[in-house]
Amino acid sequence: MKFKDYYEILGVSETATQDEIKRAYRKKARMYHPDVSSESNAEEKFKEANEAHEALRDEKRRAEYDQLKKHGYRKGDDFQQPHRGNAGGGFNPGGFGGGGEFGDFFESIFGAAAGGGGFGRQGQHAGFGQAGARRRPQQGDDIKLRVMVALENAYGGGKTNLKIPAGAGQAAKTLSVKIPAGVIDGRQLRLRSQGRPGLNGGPAGDLIVTIKLKKHQFFEAHGADITLNLPITPHESATGLKLSVPTLGGEVAMVIPANTAGGTRLRLRGRGLPVSPAGDQYVVVQVQVPEILTEQALDLLKQFDEETQANPREHLLAEPTS
């Protein structure tokens, strides 16, 4: 018989952890299971994956197999059945080549009895066994996708269509997903049983949708809070004013106090995203001077500086304190 490289069959390194071996086995099992695979040799590859997993998932069997590799055995090498006594209960002579659940190579090392967990009626990884053997249901994999959501929909809720890519025997499909009001950037929605189908009648996996908020023309989201830059004129900054300010929930009246400096942050409580508790909207005042000024406008600004004797840099020129 030929030596089998169980690590290569599962696609893991010889230093792989048990979790890595388990994940690799489940991936192979789903890829080649006859219920989902259309490949001509899927059944054989599925059996190989089960056999490799059965050999490596048990620490004692894995250590025994690793010893053979340390002695120089490589994939495809001629392999002779090792001499075993009955002590220790390892090799079962009556099981060799006699219809055991795994192949001759596995049974020559571990014995036919060791394969009871692979394809038999009671094994926890039952897949291909004797006719009528019961298969163990396995849950399908989760699908993780990201969806771009407009701020308006994040505020008021809505629906979006998600394209689910094909995979694991499942054709591509489009799913309508409800976006609840008040979602924030990075929030995850879990849609039960909308992932990959299960095996052997097992439950389907879930669809996990991560929300990514689209960039808005005016608003900027920071968690549940919203920021809006509000430009005003120098005159409005000096005298103050009352005006309508846009929010995601509609316009609201707001008072800008007199002598409000540029960069001042004013808060509209509860006007952010409607989570629990609701976020706020911050209005950042930006005092803007027109880009194009007439000679008369420049003269008026100069006259304004002379009348007020304003020196906005006075604090920079003050004598340092000792």
pLDDT at 75 over 50: yes
Helix (H, G, I), strand (E, B), or coil: what is residue 214? coil
CATH number of this structure's domain 228-308 = 2.60.260.20
Region of poorest pLDDT, from 43-47, 65-69, 131-135, 150-154? 131-135
**Which structure tokens are listed for 270?**
């509860």
**Beta-strand pair 252-256/188-191:** unpaired
| Three-class DSSP labels, 135-182 | CCCECCCCEEEEEEECHHHHHHCEEEEEEECCECCECCEEEEEEECCC
Beta bridge mates, 78 = 2
Per-residue DSSP letters for 44-86? HHHHHHHHHHHHHSSHHHHHHHHHHHHTT--TT-B-PPPP--S
pLDDT at residue 167 in the model: 80
- The stretch 48-64 carries a mean pLDDT of 91
> Sign (positive/negative) of CA torsion 32, 37, 41, 44?
positive
Q: What does the pLDDT average to over 226-247?
A: 95
pLDDT of the residue at 320: 63
pLDDT digits (tens, 9 = 90+) for 192-229: 999 988 887 889 999 999 999 999 999 999 999 999 99
Any idea where the domains of the chain sit in the sequence?
6-117, 143-213, 228-308
Calpha distance 212→219 (Å, rounded): 15
The 3-state DSSP class for residue 299 equals helix
Residue 3 has pLDDT above 60, yes or no: yes
pLDDT computed for residue 89 by the predictor: 37
Domain 6-117 has CATH 3.10.450.50: no
pLDDT greater than 60 at residue 268 = yes
Q: Which two tokens stand for residue 3?
A: 């030596």
State the Cα–Cα distance between residues 305 and 95, nearest whole angstrom: 103
Per-residue confidence (pLDDT) for residue 5, from 0 to 100: 92
Average pLDDT over residues 285-302: 90
Average pLDDT over residues 106-132: 49
Beta strands 207-213 and 143-149, pairing class? parallel
| Class of the CATH domain delimited by 143-213 | mainly beta
pLDDT score for 114: 54
Query: Which band of pLDDT confidence, cut at 50, 70 and 90, is reported for residue 121?
Result: very low
Is the N-terminal amide bond of 277 cis, ω within 30° of 0? yes
pLDDT at 152 over 70: yes
% of the chain exceeding 70 in pLDDT: 84
Helix 42-56 crosses helix 59-70 at what angle (to 10 degrees)? 100
- The reply to whether domains 6-117 and 143-213 share a CATH topology is no
Q: What is the pLDDT of residues 168-201, one digit of tens each?
A: 778 899 999 999 999 999 999 999 999 988 887 8
